[in-house]
Structures are given as C-alpha cells and as structure tokens.
Amino acid sequence: MPMSSISGNDSYPYPVARIGIIGGGQLGRMMVKAAKRIGCTCVVLDPLRNSPAGQVSGHQIVGDYHDPGALRELAAASDVVTFDIEDIDTATLIELSRAGHAIFPCPGLLADIQDKLRQKDVLAEAGIPSAEYVAADAPTAEAFAAFGYPLVQKARRGGYDGRGVQIMHTPADFARHLPVPSLIERFIPAEKELAVMVARGQDGQTRCYPPVEMCFRKGENILDMLLVPARVPEQTAAAARRLAIETVEALAGVGIFGIEMFLTADGSLLVNEVAPRTHNSGHYTIEACVTDQFEQHLRAITGLPLGAPDLLTPAAMINLLGEPGYNGRPVIRGLRAALAIPGVSVHLYGKATTRAHRKMGHVTVLDQDVERAREKAERVRALIRIIGEEKE
C-alpha cells in the first residue's frame, strides 16, 4: 500500500490514499467530501447508479454489497476499503483481508456486529453492561412469555432505523412479532438515550466526542432530534465517554464507532448497540467540532494522526424525512425561511426520489445555548417539508 510505505518519512504522493467505500448513501457522501479535503480520492460501490456518494466521488462501481466480484473490483481500485452500511457480504471481505487488502473496521468485527445476537454476545463477554437478553431463533409465544414482558424483539440481521425492532408490553403484543431469527431483551425504561462517537486508530489511540442526547417522538422509535452536549450531569457524561471508549477498545475496532446507550433513572448506563461506522448522531460534528466524524474516520483508517474531537459550540440536529403521501422527485418547501435563521446549516443528500420517512437530508443548528439551538431546530422542522412531485 503506497501510504504506509512512505509515511515513515512523512511524504505522501497525491492522492494521499484511494478510499473504497461500500455503500453510496449519505454517510458515504459526507465521507467523500471529507476525503477530498484531505487529499484522498474515493471509489464507491452501490447498486444504485449515481448514488448520493457516487455523485460526489465521481467514481462508482455499480454493484451489490453481496456480489463478491464487485467487492473484489472495489478492493483492487483502493488502498483502504471501508463501508457506510453494515449489511455486506463479510465472507468476501474476510477473504480480501487475508489476501492483504486493508479493510477497516476489520471484516471479522463487522460480521460480529451485523448480527445483533453475536454483537450482544461479544459485549457480554467483554463485560460491557447491556440489557439482559436471550436468543430467539424461532420466535414463539411460549418463549417470549417465559422470558417475560415487557420485552423488545430484535431481528438478528438487516434491521435499521428501528425496522427490525418490536417493543412488546404484554403477551397480546406477540401478534406483532417479527417471524425471523431474533433475540429478545428486557425493555429498558430509559430516562434518556445517548450516543457517543469514538474513533480508534491503528495504533490503539482513541478520541471520544461529547455525548449526544437522542430525543425520540413519544411512542415511536424514530429519532426526532439530537442535542449536544447532552443535558445530563457532568459525571454522567464522563461515565458515558468512559463506557464508549471501553466498548471500542474491547472490540479492538479501527475507525469510528457510534455507541448508543440508555441512561436509566438511577443513573446507570447500558449499551444499546454499536454502529461500526459514522453515525447519524455524529453529523453535527461537521459544523460543531474541530474534526468531524468523517475526517476522523478517514484519519483512523489511513493511519494518519487522529484529530481533536472538541466541541466548538452546542448544536441541535434534525433529520429531514420524506413526507408521507409523496413519491418521486423531491421538492423542498421552506428552504429559504429556514436558511434565514442564523446558525442553520441544511444538508441535502441528493437522493433522486423521496418516499415516506426516507432520510433525505438533515439540518444542524448552532447556538451558544443548547436550549436556543433546540428551539431554532423546532422552528426549522415546522418550516422545511420534503414532499415529492407525485402524490400517492
């Protein structure tokens, strides 16, 4: 790999590294932008021609994440391979890694994390606190009742944005169960949900971002707003950072990781899940931190020194989701009014079509006071609507 062979004398050819990104969504798109800034080029693998990341990288392989041929082609065109999604064929990645291709985070770790049951097992073995659970490979009413309600069923694979998760309060809720291999775990009556981003370099150094408070709409497991710094006591924030670092160290992860946690009424912290990649809760770092999560990830996987994760200003973030009832080419309503509010940054992901609840963009609001940032973000949410040219 050219980078490491010459990094000893601190001299790099351009491009500094050719980054292969599996997944061409918004995370990949923002990673490509950061990569260009630090002198890297990117090639993106995504089945969708002209994907959000492919549009910016200018080089895309159109192919499936499970296609060994496409993954090999990507590896051949890259110095380092990484990903913006988790649902990838890890067998091929493990084979490529054994053949000497640099892939971070390492494919074996991705294989553990992409299966929610294996992920829980790994966390439990490392002594990381998380909700008590059992495997439910063939979900039955008897097994659920024996475990006890309230409980949360989670599909072992393929869930995201809460789609593989069922919260069940009573045995009657079993009617809504997911008929797929799963785990069931205790329902945690959380005071708050926090997310902490941690980067870990190839040399084992870590950098931890401030805990973010994830606010959910009541009764739904769809994220409503993110606030940073989280409105928690200083000692809770410090404990959350320690737990996040401990988790990434236990996994020996290289790259950036999003650690989602529950904070309970008695002040204890439980890890909900680990994302082995940049994370929605880290988007605010683009405007609000010294080094954003995308550049930080690239520094980690290319062996460059990690950057300062310090928070420059409090921030609030909202996702811009496709409004239900519309499809087709997106139409952005209220953009001008939103941008007229000081401290508002709008990110649109370049998706060709909208649909109900699809992540089409996000908005970060900076303000010296986190409550004011939250209020401005509420105003922006009321202003911006992503509708589509086609009504359902």
Ligand X SMILES: Nc1ncnc2c1ncn2[C@@H]1O[C@H](COP(=O)(O)OP(=O)(O)OP(=O)(O)O)[C@@H](O)[C@H]1O
**Which part of the chain contacts ligand X (CB under 6 A), choosing from 85-93, 185-193, 242-250, 326-334?**
185-193
Query: Distance between CA 28 and CA 291 in Å, rounded?
Result: 17
What would the x/- binding string for ligand X be over residues 209 to 238, using CB under 6 A? -------x----x-----------------
The answer to whether 242 and 216 are in contact (CB under 8 A) is no
CB of 171 to ligand X, least distance (A): 17
68 binds, among ligand X, Mg ion, none (CB under 5 to 8 A by kind): none
CB of 260 to Mg ion, least distance (A): 5
Strand partners for 385: 333
Q: By C-beta, is 46 or 273 nearer to ligand X?
A: 273
CB of 189 to ligand X, least distance (A): 7
Q: Per rule CB under 6 A, is residue 272 in the interface with ligand X?
A: yes
Q: By C-beta, is 159 or 322 nearer to ligand X?
A: 159
- Quick one: which of 84, 213, 273, 295 contacts ligand X (CB under 6 A)? 273
Q: By C-beta, is 222 or 238 nearer to ligand X?
A: 222
Query: Distance between CA 141 and CA 340 in Å, rounded?
Result: 54
- Quick one: which of 213, 260, 292, 295 contacts ligand X (CB under 6 A)? 260
The tokens for 59 are 């080089």
Q: By C-beta, is 84 or 260 nearer to Mg ion?
A: 260
Q: Per rule CB under 6 A, is residue 115 in the interface with ligand X?
A: no
The answer to whether 299 and 254 are in contact (CB under 8 A) is no
Q: Per rule CB under 6 A, is residue 119 in the interface with ligand X?
A: no
Q: By C-beta, is 226 or 383 nearer to ligand X?
A: 226
Query: Distance between CA 323 and CA 252 in Å, rounded?
Result: 40
- Quick one: which of 49, 145, 160, 205 contacts ligand X (CB under 6 A)? 160
Q: Per rule CB under 6 A, is residue 388 in the interface with ligand X?
A: no
In angstroms, the first-to-last Cα distance of the chain is 51
Q: Per rule CB under 6 A, is residue 112 in the interface with ligand X?
A: no
- Count residues binding Mg ion (CB under 5 A): 1
229 binds, among Mg ion, ligand X, none (CB under 5 to 8 A by kind): none
Query: Distance between CA 177 and CA 141 in Å, rounded?
Result: 9
CB of 64 to ligand X, least distance (A): 21
- Quick one: which of 19, 70, 152, 208 contacts ligand X (CB under 6 A)? 152
CB of 42 to ligand X, least distance (A): 24
Task: Report CA 67 to chain centroid distance, whole Å.
Answer: 23
CB of 116 to Mg ion, least distance (A): 10
| Interaction residues for Mg ion, span 245-304 (CB under 5 A) | 260
Q: Which residues bind ligand X (CB under 6 A)?
A: 131, 152, 154, 159-165, 167, 185-188, 193, 216, 221, 260, 272-273
